[in-house]
């Protein structure tokens, strides 16, 4: 699409559409796509409808399959600012659900099951929930970030999860170390620990290495 010119000219039959985030049966009917026809879409593929993602995905798929027949113009709704106001942003950036929990949930060794998160979003989870997930997907270790931990790294559960935090003396308010996790060819984990210093801005953190096999 980057190579497509801003000026569109067609000598063949042309069908012109404007959908506003509404995927219709007509759009999905492949029998309507004819080699002798051209299809022009006037922008506004998202917002104001409940199928914005499906609509733009289908149109892009058609453009890939029929590059010489499908033409997509940019409308006034193809901009980030408008998307935030008229619905597309809320459709693909949810404030709850699976994606939110993947990004915001935190481990909590004091609970069993699920708990309320002090962040005001998502949940906390206990060792039992972690163990259940580890077993269900057949993995050995989850590596996460997102939390300040005193030593720069911290295991949770039966060493099934590790939190990595690499910024020592975080924001000048925490006396925490930072850590870098190294994984070798044999899946052995080791940690480089950066100790906080009195003047972290001069980057004089002392470096130590600890070994941990997983």
Q: Which residues, at least 6 apart from 201, have a Cβ–Cβ distance to it below 8 Å?
A: none
- CA–CA separation, 54 vs 21, rounded Å? 8
Catalytic hit among 27, 38, 77, 169: 77
- CA–CA separation, 77 vs 95, rounded Å? 22
User: Residues 111, 127: contact at Cβ < 8 Å?
Assistant: no
- State CA 207 to chain mean position distance: 32
Q: Which residues, at least 6 apart from 82, have a Cβ–Cβ distance to it below 8 Å?
A: 47, 76
146 catalytic? Reply is: no
Active site residues: 77
């Amino acid at each position: 699409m980057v190579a497509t010119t801003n000026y569109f000219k067609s000598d063949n039959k042309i069908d012109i559409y404007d959908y506003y985030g509404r995927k219709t049966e007509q759009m999905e009917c492949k029998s309507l796509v004819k080699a002798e026809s051209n299809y022009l879409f006037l922008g506004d593929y998202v917002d104001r409808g409940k199928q914005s993602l499906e609509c733009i995905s289908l149109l892009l798929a058609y453009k890939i399959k029929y590059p010489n027949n499908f033409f997509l113009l940019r409308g006034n709704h193809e901009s980030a600012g408008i998307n935030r106001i008229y619905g597309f942003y809320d459709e693909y950036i949810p404030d709850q659900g699976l994606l939110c929990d993947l990004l915001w949930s935190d481990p909590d060794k004091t609970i069993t099951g699920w708990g309320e998160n002090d962040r005001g979003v998502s949940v906390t989870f206990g060792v039992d929930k972690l163990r259940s997930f580890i077993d269900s997907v057949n993995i050995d270790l989850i590596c996460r970030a997102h939390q300040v931990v005193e030593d720069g790294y911290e295991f949770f559960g039966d060493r099934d999860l590790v939190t990595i935090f690499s910024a020592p003396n975080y924001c000048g308010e925490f006396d925490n170390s930072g850590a870098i996790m190294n994984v070798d060819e044999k899946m052995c984990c080791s940690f480089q620990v950066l100790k906080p210093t009195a003047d972290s801005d001069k980057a004089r953190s002392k470096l130590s290495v600890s070994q941990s096999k997983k």
